[in-house]
Structure 1
Amino acid sequence: MSKPNNSSGSARTDAWTGQGAGGDLTLRLHRFLPKTRAEGPGIRACIWVQGCSIRCPGCAVPWTWSPNGGETVTVGELARRILEGPEVEGVTFAGGEPFDQAAPLAALGRMLKHRGMSVVTYSGYRLEELRAASRPDWHALLGVTDILLDGPFMREKADVSRPWVGSSNQRIHFLTDRYAFLKPELGRHRNRLEIRLERGGIVTLNGVADMDALQELLEELELERESPPKKGKADE
Structure 2
Amino acid sequence: MKKMVNLSRIHFPVTTLGPGRRIGIWFQGCSIRCPGCISMDTWVHGRGTTAVDAVVEAVSPWLSIADGITISGGEPFDQREALFDLLRGLRARTDADILVFTGYSWPTICDALAASPSLIDAIVSGPFEIEEPQTMALRGSDNQELHLLTPLGRARFESFDRPIGENDRAFDVMFDDNGDVWLAGIPARGDFRRLQHMLEGSGSTLGISEDTRFPSL
TM-score > 0.5 by shorter chain: yes
* Superposed displacement of residue 48, structure 1: 1.1
Q: Distance in 1 between matches of 2:55 and 2:139?
A: 25
Q: CA RMSD in A?
A: 2.4
1:190 to 168, 175, 188: 168
Tell whether 2:149 aligns with 1:171: no
Conserved in 2, the CA contact under 8 Å of 1:50 and 1:64? yes
Alignment partner for residue 104 of structure 1, among 44, 63, 82?
82
Partner of 2:110: 131
Shift of 1:88: 0.8
Q: 1:54 to 1:106 in 2, by over 3 A?
A: same
**Does the 8 Å CA contact 2:25/2:71 hold for their aligned counterparts?**
yes
Q: CA deviation at 1:177?
A: 1.1
Q: Closer, same or farther in 2 for the Cα pair 1:186/1:205, shift >3 Å?
A: same
The alpha carbon displacement at 1:121 in A equals 0.8
Alpha-carbon distance, 1:39 to partner: 1.8
User: Which amino acid letter does the alignment assign opposite residue 220 of structure 1?
Assistant: M
Of residues 24-33 and 178-187 in structure 1, the stretch that sits farther from structure 2 once superposed is 178-187
How many residues get paired? 199
Gaps of 5+ in 2: 206-217
Q: Is 1:34 equivalent to 2:9 in the alignment?
A: no
TM-score under structure 2 length normalisation: 0.81
Q: Scaled by the length of structure 1, what TM-score is found? A: 0.75
Q: Percent identity of the aligned residues?
A: 29
**What is the CA–CA distance in structure 1 between the aligned matches of 2:44 and 2:71, rounded to whole Å?**
17
Partner SS for 2:62: coil
Superposed, which structure 2 residues align to 1:204-219 within 5 Å? 204-219=182-197
Q: 1:139 to 1:146 in 2, by over 3 A?
A: same
The structure 1 residue matched to 2:57, chosen from 69, 77, 80, is 80
| Cα pair 2:16 2:168 within 8 Å, conserved | no
Kindly provide the CA deviation profile for residues 12-68 of structure 1, in whole angstroms up to 9, marking residues without a partner as x. Answer: xxxxxxx8xxxx311011111132111222211111111111111111112211212
Structure showing the higher helix proportion among its residues: 1
Query: How far 1:198 moved relative to its partner?
Result: 4.0
Query: Which amino acid is 2:29 matched to?
Result: G
Larger radius of gyration: 1
Residue identity matched to 1:74: A
Q: 1:119 to 1:157 in 2, by over 3 A?
A: same
2:16–2:186 contact (8 Å) kept in structure 1: yes
Instruction: Describe the shift of the 1:215–1:141 C-alpha distance in structure 2 as closer, same or farther (beyond 3 A).
Output: farther
Seen in structure 2, the aligned counterparts of structure 1 residues 141 and 219 have a Cα distance that, compared at 3 Å, is farther
Q: Secondary structure at the match of 1:29?
A: strand
Distance 2:38 2:126 in 1: 15
Give the number of the structure with larger relative contact order, counting CA–CA contacts within 8 Å between residues 6 or more apart: 2
Q: Does 1:148 align with 2:126?
A: no
CA, structure 1 residues 199+28, in 2 after alignment: closer, same or farther (shift >3 Å)? closer
Tell me which amino acid in the other structure corresponds to 1:162.
M
Identify the match of residue 44 of structure 1 among 22, 33, 48: 22
**Partner deviation per Cα, 1:109-148 (whole Å, 9 max, x = no partner):** 122222212211111111122125xxx5x65566411111
Q: Deviations over 1:168-195 (max 9, x none)?
A: 1001110111131342554366243122
For structure 1, the 5+ residue unaligned runs are: 1-18, 228-236
